[in-house]
Amino acid sequence: MKFFLLVFSLIFSAFSIAETWFIKPSSNSQEEIQEALILAEPGDIIQLAEGFYKLKHGLSLDVDDVSIVGAGHEKTILNFKDQISSAQGLLVTSNRVVLKDFAIEDAKGDAVKSKGSDEISFINLRTEWTNGPDSTNGAYGIYPVESKRVLIDGCIAIGASDAGIYVGQSEQIIVRNTLAKFNVAGIEIENSYYADVYDNIATQNTGGILVFDLPNLPKQGGKFVRVFNNRSFDNNTPNFAPEGNIVGEVPSGTGLVVMANSNVEVFENSFSNNSTIHIAVVSGDLESGDENYYPHPKSIQIHNNSYSNVGYSPDVDRGNLSKLLVEIAEGEMPDVIWDGVLPLSQAILGQPQDEKLILKENESIKFLNLDALWYFLFSYFHSPNRDKTDFSGDIKALPAVEEW
Amino acid sequence: MVKQIIVFFILLNSVNLWSVNLEAILSSKPEKKLSDYQLFEDLTNQLPSDGVHPYILHSALFSDYADKERFVYVPEGVKAKFKPNEVYEFPVGAVLVKTFSYSETTSMGKKLLETRLLLNQENGWKAHTYVWNEEQTDAFLKVAGYTYENIEFLKNGELMQVSYRVPNQNQCKECHLKNNAIMPIGPKSRNLNFSIQYKDEEENQISFWIENGLVENHMPLDLIVNWTDQSATLNHRARAYLDINCGHCHLSSGSASNTGLYLNYTETNDMNIGIFKKPVAAGRASADLKYSIVPGKPQESILLHRMNSLDPGVMMPESGRALLHSEGVELINDWIENLQ
């Protein structure tokens, strides 16, 4: 009999109606929120009322089809200043999750992370370290990794000691209408496929937007990234990342860096007041020891961007790129650089046309090919190579990321 | 359908035959009290019911110096399957029980803290945590975790203090997740192949499990190295320590798959183990160090730095520890120092 009751209740639980959990700030918010995040059923909404939530432990969600919704990113504030456990403010490991209208402040590690999520939306969130840029701040603000169908829309990311928006090892990504400021990297797309980054503002970071590919990771070969209609300006905050990290090598005053990716299209953005460089297209780690890693940027197209005021105070303290740039530029700082590093065979025989950097910009923009390989080999004879002719060609527009 | 029939017969069999409450084990909703499962004849003294057997792992995870008592239950008539190098494949209805306690606290002598259950249900393993009451008469379901503030306990006579954190249900999953499903970590043939004291006699655990129908007959595998075993090589001890403390997340199918740092015992690629591996998403936790492991230089190795920290944004493991494991730190320090 008990068995039949069990079956009966199982059948009926499958038809339960979506519920909304209402939570208000209280001395018991920690347990209330976490309990809701665990006991929620698919379809449920967890509604966080306006107010300041002081949390001591990181939160986590592992139920599919759940939304966590606040009253606005200046009204519902989850503050982790006194956090004593977990490496992030909020961790999501389930699918079809919407996070909307709240703020995560002062997390000890990353502010909000999704791992292995399919369809994860970060909408109108704010992630912030409230003491301003500081090396003791957490690494990432909004951090989807190994995720698929990622939407970051209308968010604000402030003060991350690595990247404000960091999408890693993910696929099908849209980042739009987002403001990233006072981070080391404003927006970073790393080891990811199919990303559209548009209508964002990256300002007062060390580097505005980074499109990177790194070796020795389960997912690499970053490709098909479109960066358009963004504004990247005044990214002159001194680099405050810990040194071992890859972003620790980004010189302050950088608008955009494309490193080791293929098929990247950068267009209709505006770059201004970046004190080192607006756009740098560079190779990654040439000695990674990873056979599957292709360290050179490939099929990069840059067109119809606007540029003003660059290179007026280059940062030569971090990384080697800026030092080299200043040495080679001989006082005439460019808007766009390519490091000119190719695999040996291509350095000798030439680069296939469809892999070349294409630059289709107003005649007045200043370009510099660092020609780094030859510079190191024959620096005495090296003169700055500002010739753009080798980089002309037709733009082959990349496909838009399909919304889901 | 076949599965349903099996479950039905297991249930039918169980009605009042044994004291263990199989219906509770298979129920989609966890019981509110630990006693409801009837896994123990005497809950307070952790004396198991018939069919529930104690077991001990040869190499165990650090949990703030808490003692751990483990028990296994497998329904009559079904057996776990042997999987070389992996955890036994337990049948539906199996339970793994782990009770955490401090044997000597300043307030009350032995203090039971929490009992964690892994219940193998038709749609996979479920993890639940029960927190003991002050009277130590029963433990109660806590899904959102719990903190015991400032427990004072003795570790080999030395007074220590801890704010002991009972994990929430999602944190259980962080370690027990393999390919998106909850899996037990400990009960592998390699980890059990030695003798322990049972009620009546001392016996090899695997022989006992086979005799009592818990697992199918198999040739036991060589025992894994216990990281505390001074007679083993430093490399084996260190790798055994990293395996049981880190390797369930730092595994290509685990929660830390994205890091590219894999610390399971069978990993052989130097870069994956962390040797001259640059940090990826460590942020400030890398503390200006350049690599996870620099052979010969423990002080320049991020891995050791994170083991040696109590800052939640830096420390590893991310959960399950509020104290430093000085013995583990020492072992890994020595290991890195001797790496070439």
Contact across the interface for B278 and A290, Cβ inside 8 Å? no
Rounded to a whole number of angstroms, the distance from the CA of A359 to the nearest CA of chain B is 31
Mean pLDDT value of segment B113-134: 96
Contact across the interface for B144 and A146, Cβ inside 8 Å? no
Question: B322 in contact with A at a CB cutoff of 8 Å?
Answer: yes
Nearest CB to A108 within list B289, B312, B319: B312
Residues of chain A found within 8 Å of residue B318, distances taken between Cβ atoms? 86-87
Neighbours of B157 (CB within 10 A): 6
Mean pLDDT value of segment B155-177: 91
Contact across the interface for A244 and B290, Cβ inside 8 Å? yes
Residues of chain A found within 8 Å of residue B291, distances taken between Cβ atoms? 244
Using N-to-C axis directions, what is the helix angle for A2-13 and B2-14, rounded to 10°? 140
Residue found by looking up tokens 């981070």 in the block: A183
Each residue of B247-266: pLDDT tens digit?
989 999 888 999 999 999 98
Nearest CB to A85 within list B173, B260, B319: B319
Residues of chain A found within 8 Å of residue B15, distances taken between Cβ atoms? 2
Is residue B4 scored above 70 in pLDDT? no
Collapsing DSSP to helix, strand or coil, A326 comes out as helix
Residue-range domain boundaries for chain B:
2-211, 234-338
Is residue B98 scored above 50 in pLDDT? yes
pTM of the model: 0.91
Query: What residues of chain A score a pLDDT lower than 50?
Result: 1-2, 5, 10
Contact across the interface for B165 and A85, Cβ inside 8 Å? yes
Q: Tell me chain B's radius of gyration from C-alpha atoms.
A: 21
pLDDT, position A372: 82
pLDDT, position B2: 55
Chain B segment 199-258 residues within 8 A of A by beta carbon are 252, 255, 257-258
Q: How confident is the model at residue B107 (pLDDT cuts 50, 70, 90)?
A: confident
Contact across the interface for B279 and A244, Cβ inside 8 Å? yes
Nearest CA in chain B to A190: B280
Question: B312 in contact with A at a CB cutoff of 8 Å?
Answer: yes
Contact across the interface for B282 and A31, Cβ inside 8 Å? no
Contact across the interface for B257 and A289, Cβ inside 8 Å? no
3-state SS string over B129-145?
EEEECCCCCCEEECCCC
Neighbours of B33 (CB within 10 A): 15
Q: Which residue, among B111, B93, B89, B114, has the nearest Cα to B102 in the 3D structure? A: B111
Between CA A334 and CA A331 the distance in angstroms is: 9
pLDDT, position B203: 96
Neighbours of B77 (CB within 10 A): 12
Contact across the interface for A38 and B170, Cβ inside 8 Å? yes
Is residue B7 scored above 60 in pLDDT? no
Residues of chain A found within 8 Å of residue B170, distances taken between Cβ atoms? 37-38, 60-62, 91, 93
Contact across the interface for A87 and B11, Cβ inside 8 Å? no
A108 with B312: CB under 8 angstroms? yes
Contact across the interface for B283 and A30, Cβ inside 8 Å? no
Give me B57's structure tokens: 């792992």
Between CA A84 and CA A107 the distance in angstroms is: 10
- Total beta-carbon pairs less than 8 A apart between chain A and chain B: 142
DSSP string spanning A111-158?
EEEEES-EEEEEES-EEE-TT-S-TTS-SEEEEEES-EEEEEES-EEE
Collapsing DSSP to helix, strand or coil, A388 comes out as coil
Between CA A246 and CA B202 the distance in angstroms is: 55
Contact across the interface for B143 and A91, Cβ inside 8 Å? no
Each residue of B278-323: pLDDT tens digit?
988 888 898 889 999 999 999 999 999 999 999 999 999 988 899 9
Each residue of B48-91: pLDDT tens digit?
999 999 999 998 899 999 999 999 999 999 999 998 888 999 99
Contact across the interface for B285 and A139, Cβ inside 8 Å? yes
Chain B segment 126-145 residues within 8 A of A by beta carbon are 143-145
Each residue of A29-59: pLDDT tens digit?
999 999 999 999 999 999 999 999 999 999 9
Any idea what DSSP says for residue A235?
-
Residues of chain A found within 8 Å of residue B169, distances taken between Cβ atoms? 38
Residues of chain A found within 8 Å of residue B287, distances taken between Cβ atoms? 242, 244
